[in-house]
Chain A
Amino acid sequence: MKRFYSWVHSGALAAALLALPSAASAQRGDSVYIEDRMNQLQQTITMLTGQLEQLQYKNQQLQQQLEKMQTDHEFRLDQLEGKKGGAPRAPSVPPPPTGPNTAAAPPASGAQGEQLYHDAFKLLQDGDYAGAEKSFRTFVQRNPQHPLAGNAQYWLGETYYARRDYQNAMISFAEGYKVYKTSPKGPDNLLKLGITLGVLNKKQEACAVFVRFAQDYPRATDLQKRRADQERHRAGCG
């Protein structure tokens, strides 16, 4: 840029010199002048081309950032409002089994356990992460086979994550993925594990998790997939 201006400057100076009224050099000066002007215009076009490319690129980047922020917000709102398989009332909680096989299924402490889960979730919404942590952990310990156990394990991880205790969050999400892989919160556990690993600067592991995510959960929601894609990018995965 600087170089360009100095060039233009010297070009203009030369043009001015050449334009001095000298009968003998008039003809020669004309063609040199035209040559100079052509070069100057060419340089201007080149510079503008470069600037345009840069601006288009910056624009594209900003747009992507904006979209990412939007989906991030959506994701969090959805999580809190419990729209997308996250919350107690969510449709993703399998309905209690009915029919002849029922006898084998219900967890030991059925309805009582569910109350504990709801209480824990309430604490989480209120921002009492330590309280929520304790309650979710108790719930999982007492009802490891409960249909909501995978959810509880996920939210347990979130109580750490919210407090930036990434080490425990990582362990918790990993446990959630390992033990409750097929639970409705399976994909969330794995996704959040990847994100946590990213935060912990374990890029290799994070990238491996995102690969696993695509393999294990081809039917994840679009929101989850988009999030996984973004995080994969952010971690700079190959």
Chain B
Amino acid sequence: MRMIKAIAAFAALAIVAACSSEQAPPPANAQVTPGSIADFKQNVGDRVYFDTDMSSIREDGRATLAKQAEWLKKYTNYPILIEGKCDERGTREYNLALGERRANAVRQYLVAQGVPADRVKTISYGKERPEVVGSDEGAWARNRVGITALQ
């Protein structure tokens, strides 16, 4: 009997875990704890986008990164990993380097805004780990991205 209860509890947990790992963003009015990763993603924005073949931060990205820097200076407990990615319209090796350059552009911007350099690491996924699966400009635009991932 006890055993069955335990299994039931475990199953419930598993369902909760499965739900929390869903990709869909939480509804806008959901409560997120200030300072949590969810707070960062939802209220600050964890990514900036790039133009084709470019690694300079766009105007919309500047606003996002300014907000990111403010938040990251307030909540200092997260190690930061910037992931640079590219769309599929380039060659594999070059895109690895381009992703690194994008990640680095984000990093430099955050550091220039006062986030300690030793907290921010970078990694490039080139075109190997797209955010969106698709072969149109809409998908490509969202795959030319720098993501500020908190760990």
The contact string, 1 if C-beta is below 8 Å from chain A, for chain B 41-63, is 00000000001001010110010
Question: Once the chains bind, are B59 and A31 in contact (CB under 8 Å)?
Answer: no
The interface of chain A, by Cβ under 8 A from chain B, is 3, 7, 10-11, 14, 27-28, 31-32, 34-35, 39, 43
A32 touches B112 (CB 8 A): yes
Contact of B56 among A31, A34, A39 (CB under 8 A): A39
B116 in contact (CB, < 8 A) = no
Q: Return the chain B residue nearest A31 by Cβ.
A: B112
Report whether A35 and B109 are in contact in the complex, using a CB–CB cutoff of 8 Å: yes
Give the distance in Å from the alpha carbon of A10 to the alpha carbon of B63 in the complex: 13
- Say whether A35 contacts B62, CB under 8 Å: no
From B56, B113, B114, contact of A7 by CB (8 A): B56
A32 touching B109, Cβ below 8 Å? yes
Q: Which residue of B lies closest to A18 (CB)?
A: B62
Closest 3 CB pairs of A and B: A31-B112, A35-B112, A32-B112
With A and B bound together, what is the CA distance between A180 and B62 in angstroms?
78
Complex Cα gap A7–B57 (Å):
10
A35 contact from B51, B54, B69, B108, Cβ within 8 A: B108
**Whole-angstrom distance between the alpha carbons of A32 and B59 in the complex?**
13
Q: How far does the Cβ of A54 sit from chain B's closest Cβ, in whole Å?
A: 18
Asked if B59 contacts A28 (CB within 8 A), the reply is no
CB atoms of A14 and B109 under 8 A apart:
no
Q: How far is the CA of A221 from the CA of B122 in the complex (A)?
A: 63
A28-B113 contact in complex given A14-B62, A35-B108, C-beta closer than 8 Å: yes
- CB<8 Å pairs between A and B, sample of 15: A3-B54, A7-B54, A10-B58, A10-B59, A11-B56, A14-B59, A28-B113, A28-B114, A31-B112, A31-B114, A32-B109, A32-B112, A34-B112, A35-B109, A35-B112
Tell me how far the C-beta of B27 lies from the nearest C-beta in chain A, rounded to whole angstroms.
Answer: 34
Further contacts, 15 of them, CB under 8 A, given A34-B112, A43-B56: A3-B51, A7-B56, A10-B58, A11-B56, A14-B59, A28-B69, A28-B113, A31-B111, A31-B112, A31-B113, A31-B114, A32-B112, A32-B113, A35-B108, A39-B105
Q: Which residues from B are CB-within-8-Å of A27?
A: 114
Q: How far is the CB of B56 from chain A (nearest CB, A)?
A: 6
Q: Specify which chain A residues have a CB less than 8 angstroms from the CB of B105 in the assembled complex.
A: 39
Residues of B within 8 A of A31 (CB): 111-114
- Report A-chain residues with C-beta under 8 Å of the C-beta of B59: 10, 14
How many angstroms from the CA of A27 to the CA of B109 in the assembled complex? 14
Give every chain B residue within 8 A of A43 (Cβ-Cβ). 56
